[in-house]
Copies of this chain bind each other. A is one copy, B any other.
Amino acid sequence: MSASPYKQLEQEFKRLHAFRGALALLRWDAAVMMPRGSADVRGEQLAALETEHHALLTAPKITRLLDRAQANLQQLEDWQVANLREMRRQRDHAIATPVTLVSRLTKAASRAESRWLEARAEGKFETFAPYLEEVVHLVRDKAALLGQALNLAPYDALVDEFSPGLTTLDIDAMFKALSRRMPSLIRESIALQESRPPQPLTGKFPAGKQRALAVEVMKAVGFPFDRGRLDESEHPFTEGSSGDIRITTRFDPDDVFSGLLGALHETGHAMYDLGLPQDWRDQPVGRDRGMALEESQSLLIEMMVCRSRPFVRYVQPLISRHFGVSGPEWDPENVYAHLTRVQRGLIRVDADELTYPLHIMLRYELEKQLLSGQLAVRDLPEAWNAGMEQRLGIRPSNDVEGCLQDIHWAVGSFGYFPSYALGAVIAAQLYESMRAELPALDEQLSRGEFSGLFGWLRTHVHGLGAKVPVQDLLKNATGKPLNATSFIRYVEAKYLETSASSAAA
């Protein structure tokens, strides 16, 4: 007797999972290990695998099996019904995009990524522009087709790929709430911090020692080094598959924290992937619940947990030991002041929690304009610089600190940026509930103990995989739908604290 349609689908999607794992490794290698001149070869490999993945996912066999399994839902368990829904979702997205477009986009993105690296090295946007333009054209075609198939506006269709169940309605509501409060909060915070400036943390922090410190902290957090790696790349990222997680960071010898916090940000992603339901690991329902939730996990760790007084109490002795530094500037309170410094800066990945959403708003608007054709690629640098000046009052002096800083557009990731802001807002909402339920959390964190934290996250987030929509997950975990109130409450408490409460902490 042959396997049921549903069981056959599980086999098919297990194979697709392995394909995606191979693709992830090819991408990781391209960014971390691959010789520069091999980009064309890699591009063809990625295209061949993407194309085949696409062909397998959109084969008539899958549609037939999906229909037959759908007709027998009563035989399935809850998680299997959800799995079937996610299978259909993947197929729907894939079938909307013709295989030739997938292949062209993959090749164009591979070329553009390698030109982006060169353009950064040389500080020349012009050498990158034609490659970005090719990517924009192809993404525009894709968005139009996806939107038609999913009955969504083109840009919403792209967002739906990354953060299923969220749309520009959610994003606009969030940005509206943030726009009302963040500019004044940034001013107030900077004024407050200027009234008590921290002592500078000067010194040289060699990459090798920074790496050793990062590894020690990552081990305490729970990063599985027997099933993962830490490497260095231009732009920190997490790649790989559940069971082989690869994260990267970059170490700046003049900055003791940027490399560590980059690594911890990515560790937040890795811990999410690690906490996904093992029994469903090679099935669609066993995947993460989209990029907004992914980013919530990295931001929760980096911003809320690691830029806190309890974490500083834990990490400060490690810093002294690894770098042999001491003196009043290394007192926990001074270190904390650095970690919560609000500054109008040009680089998104270095931005603090308050200015970060403004960076995202800029990218959100620019990428919508690029896709709609309202903004030409050649005009991007000027539009970027003007936008930064308008929002943050500062202007990049070159494109490396301007529109060349992010890899996303080069690799065709349009519709991804909002996930970062959604992630911050979701993280704050989760963190508020978690703290209410775990009164001993701060004490644990100050001892470098993260098991309570991740226990809560496994129960309410990680362990659910893609079983429930993100809005339902949030309601179950926090009692409320997605909203920016917790975030605003959190940043107000953190950045407008009185001198008294600061001294007492």
The answer on a CB contact under 8 Å between A41 and B241 is: yes
Q: How far is the CA of A91 from the CA of B45 in the complex (A)?
A: 21
Contact A244 B33 (CB under 8 A): no
Classify chain A's interface size. Answer: 35 or more
What is the bound-complex CA distance between A88 and B25, given in angstroms? 31
B18 pairs with A25, CB closer than 8 A: no
> Which A residues from 242 to 295 make CB contacts under 8 A with B?
242-244, 282
User: Would you call A22 and B21 a contact (CB within 8 A)?
Assistant: no
Residues of B within 8 A of A225 (CB): 35
With CB as the reference atom, state the residue of chain B lying closest to A36: B226
Q: Is the CB of B48 within 8 A of A19?
A: yes
Q: A435 CB to closest chain B CB, in angstroms?
A: 33
Interface membership of chain A positions 3-40, coded 1 if the CB is closer than 8 angstroms to chain B and 0 otherwise? 00000000000110011011001100100011111101
State the Cβ distance, A269 to closest chain B Cβ, in Å: 16
With a CB–CB cut-off of 8 A, which chain B residues contact A45?
Answer: 18-19, 21-22, 25, 241
A312 at the interface (CB under 8 A from B): no
A61 to chain B, nearest CB (A): 13
Q: A residues 330-362 with Cβ under 8 Å of B?
A: none
Contact B227 A33 (CB under 8 A): no
A226–B37 contact, CB under 8 A?
yes
Q: Please, how many angstroms separate the alpha-carbon atoms of A106 and B33 in the complex?
A: 25
Is A42 an interface residue when CB atoms closer than 8 A count as contact?
yes
Closest residue of chain B to A21 (Cβ to Cβ) is B45
CB-based nearest B residue for A22: B45
- Residues of B within 8 Å of A22, CB to CB, are 22, 26, 45, 48-49
By the criterion CB–CB under 8 Å, are A243 and B36 in contact? no
Query: A452-485: which residues lie under 8 A (CB-CB) from chain B?
Result: none
A301 contacts B by Cβ under 8 Å? no
B226 adjacent to A41 (CB under 8 Å): no
* A42 CA to B22 CA, complexed, in Å: 8
CB-defined contacts of A48 to chain B, threshold 8 Å: 15, 18-19, 22
Q: Which residues between 29 and 79 of chain A lie within 8 Å of chain B, taking CB atoms?
A: 29, 33-38, 40-42, 44-45, 47-49, 51-52, 56
Of B14, B47, B56, B244, the residue contacting A35 (CB under 8 A) is B244
A228 proximity list for chain B (CB < 8 A) = 35, 38
Is A224 positioned at the interface, with any CB of B under 8 Å from its CB? yes
Q: Whole-angstrom distance from the CB of A58 to the nearest CB of chain B?
A: 15
**Given B19, B56, B244, which contacts A41 in the complex, CB threshold below 8 Å?**
B244
Cβ of A395 within 8 Å of any chain B Cβ, yes or no, is no
Q: How far is it, in angstroms, between the C-alpha of A15 and the C-alpha of B229 when the chains are bound? A: 30
Instruction: Name the CB-closest residue of B to A32.
Output: B33
Contact, CB under 8 Å: A227 / B38: yes
Task: Among B25, B36, B51, B56, point to the contact of A25 (Cβ < 8 A).
Answer: B25
- Alpha-carbon separation in the docked complex, A485 to B129 (Å): 61
- Chain B residues within an 8 Å CB radius of A47: 18
User: Is the CB–CB distance between B35 and A226 below 8 Å?
Assistant: yes
Q: Report whether B35 and A33 are in contact in the complex, using a CB–CB cutoff of 8 Å.
A: no
**Interface-central residue, A14, A38, A47, by most chain B CB under 10 Å:** A38
Task: Mark contacts of A215-228 with chain B using CB atoms, 8 A cut-off: 1 yes-contact digit, 0 otherwise.
Answer: 00000000011111
A56–B35 CA distance with the chains assembled, in angstroms: 29
Question: A244 touching B18 by the CB < 8 A rule?
Answer: no
Partner of A38, one of B38, B49, B244: B244
Which chain B residues border A51 with CB–CB below 8 Å?
A: 15
Within the complex, the shortest CB–CB distance from A26 to chain B, in Å, comes to: 6
> Could you say which residues of chain B place their CB within 8 Å of the CB of A241?
41, 45
Known: A15-B51, A22-B45, A38-B244. 14 other contacts (CB 8 A): A15-B48, A18-B44, A18-B45, A19-B52, A21-B45, A25-B29, A34-B244, A35-B226, A35-B229, A37-B224, A40-B243, A41-B243, A41-B244, A49-B49
The 4 closest A-B pairs by CB, nearest first: A18-B48, A38-B244, A37-B226, A41-B243
9 A-B contact pairs sorted by A residue (CB < 8 Å): A15-B48, A18-B49, A22-B26, A22-B45, A33-B33, A33-B229, A34-B244, A35-B224, A37-B227
